[in-house]
């Protein structure tokens, strides 16, 4: 990942996240090794899904990698911060979010451990911040007094927007005048075309489906700002890892294999598999967007996490005065030890 540090801080971003009591990190190497090939301590993992898309744990289950573990769907979410908060509160067993949001929550004393990357940015998978053709918005300055649709506050989209505004030289007061509006991703395009917002964050299949219809253009892209990088991770609680090392290992192993299956399988076969999964689960959702799927966007093989994918946000939080120098270290913040590709090069 190439992230140019053009200011004394990387960006500005506010996270609204829950606090929790810190528990010592678990899942050491010896424990991980002993978990391999052994029966999971639980039979199912509770999780939240995403409308019209397939997560890698869902793909892993469909491919047979997760057995004997099963997934228990408890609902959909459009918010990474909410998803990992649900893990902290015990409503789910795993959840995923933007790495910056995870760092913020860990700084707030949450007992969670990132275990595998699950989304990112590459040449085919990225997010654009789109305006309608003919829009008067041409520069960052033009966003003052305007509304931008994002999937949630305190996560990837907000970070990118604030970085774009800072790099363009907007002051803190000017940035406050740019309004972020939470809109479900599946309706962001429609909301933009109805002129209820001025800019819409569109990524992945939703972006390509919107582009197929035409009439929109990107004001800026996250890839142009930061290059290729893994942006978010799945987390487990320290308690879950300690009490369920075999299940933790199985979950990460299966998800890692699913990521590599998607990375190495022809795009048409991946799309067909996704369509099959969506249609079979019968959640009354539109499966048409998955035909635009192009890549995993994940930098590390099998979702391996690298130091820089978290160290960047630690430095940002320090520079913003959110945490103190030395309060958090990337060492021990995440673990790759359950990942079967840990000894392979990225």
Query: CA 208 to CA 130: how far, in whole Å?
Result: 12
Contacts of 96 (CB under 8 A, 6+ apart): 55, 80, 83, 84, 118, 119, 232, 233, 234, 235
3-state class (DSSP) for residue 316: helix
pLDDT of res. 81 = 86
Query: CA 247 to CA 254: how far, in whole Å?
Result: 10
Q: Is 138 exposed, middle or buried (0-12, 13-18, 19+ CB in 10 A)?
A: exposed
Q: What are the percentages of helix, strand and coil residues in the chain, rounded to 5?
A: 40, 20, 40
pLDDT of res. 51 = 84
Instruction: Express each pLDDT in 267-279 by its tens digit.
Output: 999 999 999 999 9
Contacts of 314 (CB under 8 A, 6+ apart): 103, 323, 328, 329, 330, 333
pLDDT of res. 195 = 94
Nearest to 164 by CA among 229, 226, 231: 226
Global pTM? 0.77
pLDDT of res. 345 = 53
pLDDT of res. 226 = 83
Packing angle, helices 80-88 and 99-107, rounded to 10: 40
Strand-pair partners of 114: 235
Residues of the chain with pLDDT under 50: 1-35, 346
pLDDT of res. 158 = 86
Query: CA 134 to CA 333: how far, in whole Å?
Result: 46
Which ranges of the chain would DSSP assign to H, the alpha helix? 29-35, 56-63, 80-88, 99-107, 156-167, 172-176, 185-193, 204-213, 222-226, 238-243, 245-264, 267-281, 308-319
């Amino acid at each position: 990942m190439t992230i140019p540090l053009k200011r004394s801080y990387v960006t500005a971003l506010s996270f609204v996240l829950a606090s929790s009591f810190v528990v010592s990190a678990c899942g050491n190497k010896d424990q991980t090794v002993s978990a391999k090939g052994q029966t999971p301590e639980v039979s199912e993992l509770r999780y939240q899904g995403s409308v019209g898309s397939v997560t890698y744990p869902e793909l892993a289950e469909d491919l047979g990698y997760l057995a004997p573990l099963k997934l228990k769907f408890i609902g959909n979410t459009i918010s990474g911060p909410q998803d990992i908060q649900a893990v902290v509160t015990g409503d789910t067993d795993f959840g995923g979010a933007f790495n910056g949001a995870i760092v913020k929550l860990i700084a707030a004393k949450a007992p969670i451990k990132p275990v595998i990357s699950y989304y990112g940015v590459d040449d085919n998978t990225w997010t654009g911040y789109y305006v309608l053709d003919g829009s008067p918005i041409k520069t960052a300055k033009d966003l003052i007094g305007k509304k931008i649709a994002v999937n949630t506050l305190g996560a990837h989209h907000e970070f990118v927007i604030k970085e774009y505004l800072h790099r363009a030289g907007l002051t803190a007061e000017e940035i406050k005048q740019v309004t972020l509006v939470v809109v479900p991703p599946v309706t962001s395009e429609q909301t933009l075309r109805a002129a209820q917002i001025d800019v819409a964050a569109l990524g992945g299949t939703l972006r390509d489906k919107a582009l197929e219809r035409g009439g929109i253009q990107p004001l800026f892209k996250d890839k142009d700002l930061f290059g290729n990088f893994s942006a978010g991770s799945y987390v487990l609680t320290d308690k879950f890892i300690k009490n369920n090392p075999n299940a933790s290992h199985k979950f990460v192993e299966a998800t890692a294999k699913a990521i590599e299956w998607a990375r190495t399988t022809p795009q048409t076969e991946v799309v067909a598999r996704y369509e099959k999964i969506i249609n079979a689960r019968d959640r009354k959702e539109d499966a048409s967007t998955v035909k635009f799927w192009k890549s995993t966007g994940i930098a590390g093989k099998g979702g391996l996490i690298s130091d820089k994918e978290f160290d960047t946000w630690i430095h940002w939080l320090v520079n913003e005065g959110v945490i103190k120098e030395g309060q958090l270290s990337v060492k021990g913040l995440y673990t790759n030890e359950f990942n079967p590709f840990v000894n392979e090069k990225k």
